[in-house]
Amino acid sequence: MVPPLDAETIAIGTELLIGGRSDSNSLFLADELGKLGIAVRFKSVVGDERRDIVTAIHTAVTRAQVIIMTGGLGPTVDDCTREAVARATGHRLGRRKEALEGMTARLAQWGRIPNTAQLRQGMIPSGATVLNNPVGSAPGFCLTWKKALIISLPGVPREMEEMMRQEVLPLLRAESGAAGWSPREPIVRQVFHTFGLAEADVDAKLKGLIPKGAPVDLGMLASPMGVLVSLTTKGNQSTPEKNRDLLEELTNDVRSRLSDWLFAEGRDTMEEVVGRELSKQGLMLAVAESCTGGLIGHRLTQVAGSSAYVDRGAVCYSNRAKTEMLGVPAELIAHNGAVSKEVAAAMACGIRQRANVSVGLSVTGIAGPGGGTETKPVGLVYIGLDDGTGQPITQEFRFHGDRNVIKQRSSQAALDLLRRWLLGKASR
């Protein structure tokens, strides 16, 4: 019997190694390959050095049958994936008509013509199949070498994702049939998003969830947005129906154990969940932000159709702005401090009244690194919500992390309070 396929992803870019940018492409690739029953067994990250990319390719072909590379296909001098693949495989680079035509047509849509540097993007290893880029200008390519299928895609997520859907997945389905590769059962991943519990607390609530020897892996990943929990089937099992039933049973168990903190599943974000509920209830929202500096409003309006439920947002950073724009009494700020539950409540009330909307949401806090005191340390944040009942809701948080992390956690906490209020679960 022909063994099932294993895959390796190779993310290329020096910025991925020095903290300038994180690799999100590999997660998308793993999900899409898993749907075909192709397991990603290895993930590599390599900088923009040709010899290092060559080494990564030579290593990958010894342990994977499908290798997907992302990045290094642009027009600049540090984009050397094409040259590295050519050197590693011995396939000489040459200018390909279909690659040039696709790139030229895309640039023409933007009112541009290719310059000398961009013409490099038309250089493709001999024997490779050109992969059309329906979003950007850089074409991709794929070739078979040492019984491994090497696929090279741009590193820009939107371009990579569309090329994966339109070009690579159909290719993999065709190749698996022609080569007689043995498919696994699709690798199914169920994802749960939680907020309000530390990773250790989530782990404690899920203790004993997975029966011993069950073909399902439990994963957890903490971030400023909460703790992500995943259940992943292992694929290539002899009783797929039984395994699907087990996954459904475990999914329901996770929902039950994490119900109070579970805000979304799959690819949904907090802002999408909140937006849908606001729209469903026919409510309009206004937001007043201090320490988050407009981050909550930005997140809400990143969702298409948010004009149906977002009226306005105000960044009231200074005490004077809180008084002038929201009507927060100066004496209230002087007596309690700008970072206080009293001011958070007044901010929420002020923005709701001025916007004449259903609900006002506010945040005030100390994002750091300076500005904290012994009684009001860096990371102290108050969230306020006012719905016109005369009983505003406030919550206090003590976040840790750098300035950016505290702002992210604060925005998530504010949206989570709004979510709970919408579901009738917020305590006054």
Q: Model confidence over 47-105: pLDDT tens digits?
A: 999 999 999 999 999 999 999 999 999 988 889 999 999 999 999 999 999 999 888 88
CB of 348 within 8 A of CB of 421? no
Long-range contacts of residues 195-198, Cβ cutoff 8 Å, at least 24 apart: 195/225, 195/226, 195/227, 195/261, 195/263, 195/270, 195/412, 195/413, 195/416, 196/226, 196/260, 196/261, 196/416, 197/226, 197/227, 197/258, 197/261, 198/222, 198/227
Q: Which residue has the higher pLDDT, 185 or 160?
A: 160
Q: What angle do CA 399, 402, 405 make, to 5 degrees?
A: 65
Q: How confident is the model at residue 33 (pLDDT cuts 50, 70, 90)?
A: very high
pLDDT for position 239:
61
Torsion of CA 320, 321, 325, 331, to 10 degrees: -40
The SS3 assignment for 374 reads coil
Please tell me the distance from the alpha carbon of residue 314 to that of residue 337, in angstroms, as a whole number: 20
DSSP string for 52-118: HHHHHHHHHTTT-SEEEEES--SSSTT--HHHHHHHHHT--EEE-HHHHHHHHHHHHHTT----HHH
Chain centroid to CA 427: 30
CB of 193 within 8 A of CB of 228? yes
Chain centroid to CA 362: 25
The one-character DSSP state at 16 is G
Strand-pairing partners, residue 192, are 229, 265
Third-level CATH fold of 270-422: Maf protein (3.90.950)
Phi/psi-derived region of residue 232, left when phi > 0, alpha when psi is between -120 and 50, beta in every other case: beta
- Percent of the chain beyond pLDDT 90? 77
Q: Which residue has the higher pLDDT, 85 or 426?
A: 85
Q: Measure CA of the first residue to CA of the last residue in the chain; give whole Å.
A: 63
Strand-pairing partners, residue 124, are 94
Asked whether the predicted pLDDT for residue 1 surpasses 50, the reply is no
Rounded average pLDDT over 339-352: 98
Per-residue pLDDT tens over the stretch 257-284: 999 999 999 999 999 999 999 999 999 9
> What is the H or E stretch that residue 163 is in?
helix 157-163
pLDDT for position 244:
79
Please tell me the distance from the alpha carbon of residue 320 to that of residue 354, in angstroms, as a whole number: 17
CB of 121 within 8 A of CB of 74? yes
Asked whether the predicted pLDDT for residue 236 surpasses 70, the reply is no
Residue in this structure with the two tokens 């149906």, named with its chain if needed: 308
Please tell me the distance from the alpha carbon of residue 96 to that of residue 99, in angstroms, as a whole number: 5
Q: What is the pTM of this model?
A: 0.81
Peptide bond into 369 cis (omega under 30): yes
The SS3 assignment for 228 reads strand
Rounded average pLDDT over 393-404: 96
- Residue type present at position 347: M
Phi/psi-derived region of residue 409, left when phi > 0, alpha when psi is between -120 and 50, beta in every other case: alpha
Give the other-Cβ count within 10 Å of 304's Cβ. 8
pLDDT for position 428:
77
Asked whether the predicted pLDDT for residue 397 surpasses 50, the reply is yes
Mean pLDDT value across the chain = 92
φ and ψ at residue 187, rounded to 5 degrees: -85, 110
Please tell me the distance from the alpha carbon of residue 141 to that of residue 152, in angstroms, as a whole number: 5
Domain ranges of the chain: 6-179, 189-265, 270-422
Please tell me the distance from the alpha carbon of residue 197 to that of residue 407, in angstroms, as a whole number: 18
Q: Which residue has the higher pLDDT, 238 or 102?
A: 102
Considering the segment(s) 6-179 as one domain, its CATH architecture is 3-Layer(aba) Sandwich (3.40)
Q: How confident is the model at residue 182 (pLDDT cuts 50, 70, 90)?
A: low
Q: How confident is the model at residue 356 (pLDDT cuts 50, 70, 90)?
A: very high
CB of 64 within 8 A of CB of 210? no
Specify burial of residue 230 (Cβ count, 10 A radius: 0-12, 13-18, 19+): middle
Considering the segment(s) 189-265 as one domain, its CATH architecture is 2-Layer Sandwich (3.30)
